[in-house]
Amino acid sequence: MGLNRQELADRCAQIDWDDARGAHRTSRTLLRRLAGDRELLSELVLGIPGDPWRKKRSEFHPLMNKLCLLEDPEAGYQLRLHDFRVSDLDIVPHDHKYSFSVYILSGGYTHVWNRRTNGIYEGDFTTRDIAPGVVSLEGPGACYTLQYSLIHQTVVQPGTVSLFLRGPKRLDRWHAADDLMDHLKGYEAPKKDGSSHQGSTPLSEEAYASVRDSLIQRGIITNRRPIDVVA
C-alpha cells in the first residue's frame, strides 16, 4: 500500500538524524517507496505552482534545479527532487550543514567519500587535510546517507535525477576545500565573515516548467494534474 502525502511528511519528521544507521534505514525505506509511487511523486511535483511556500523554496543552482517536495521548518527536514544540469561543478571536496539521504531515480555519478586526516572533524579544510576513503558508482535505485561535516565530491552523469532528504542544520555554513575555491564555477562557498555569496536563487516559472516537462517525458512522473494545482 502506498504512502499518502501526510504519512510521508509525518515519517520524514520522525527521523532521528543523530542516529546515522537508523536515519539511513528509515530514509532508504521512505525514498524507495516514494520513487516507486509515481502518483504521489507526480502529485508533489505538479502541486508546486499551487503551493506558495514550496514554490518559494524551489531553487535554481548552477549545478542543479531543486524542487521542494515537502518541508517542515519546525521539524527541520526538507525533501527535494534534484534535477542535475551539468556534470563538472561538484568535483570540489565539500561538506554540508546537515545530514542527508539521497535516492537516485535516473542517471548516476561517481562518488568519492573523503576522510579528514588532520584530526579536526568539522570546519575549514584544504586538500592537504583529506584523503580519499571510498569511491563508489551510484546508479538508479542506489541510496546513501551522508552525515553532516563528512566531505565528499561527485562527478555526475548527464540527466541525473535524485530524491534528496535532509535533516536539521547542524553547522552555520558549509565548507569547500580552501585551495580549490576557484574551481567552483558559477557559485561560491559561504564566506567566513558571513557576508553574502553567490549561491542558489529562486526557481523561475519557466525553469520549473522545463524540469516538469522533462520529468514527464522521461516517465519519472505522469502529467496527471492534482486537485491542488491552480489553473
For 84-141, how does the pLDDT look when each residue is reduced to its tens digit (9 = 90+)? Answer: 976 555 678 888 999 999 999 999 999 999 999 988 888 888 899 999 889 999 999 9
Statement: residue 152 has pLDDT above 60? yes
Give the dihedral sign, CA 140/67/164/16: negative
Residue 138: its pLDDT value, please?
94
Mean pLDDT value across residues 46-55 = 97
128-148 burial code (b ≥16 CB/10 A, e <16) = ebbeeeeeeebeeebbbbbbb
Lowest mean pLDDT among 7-21, 56-70, 126-140, 192-206: 192-206
What is the overall mean pLDDT for the chain?
Answer: 88
The secondary structure of 205-219, three-state, reads: HHHHHHHHHHHHHCC
Taken in order of first residue, the domains within the chain and their CATH numbers are 5-217 (2.60.120.10)
Q: Name the band, by pLDDT with cuts 50, 70 and 90, for residue 24.
A: very high
pLDDT digits 0-9 by tens, 183-208? 666 554 555 555 444 567 899 999 99
Q: What is the pLDDT of residue 149?
A: 83
DSSP assignment, residue 176? B
Mean pLDDT of 6-32: 97
pTM reported for the whole predicted model? 0.88
The band of 3, judged by pLDDT with boundaries at 50, 70 and 90, is confident
Distances (CA, A) of 175 to 80, 95, 149, 188: 21, 6, 8, 10
pLDDT at 1 > cutoff 50 = yes
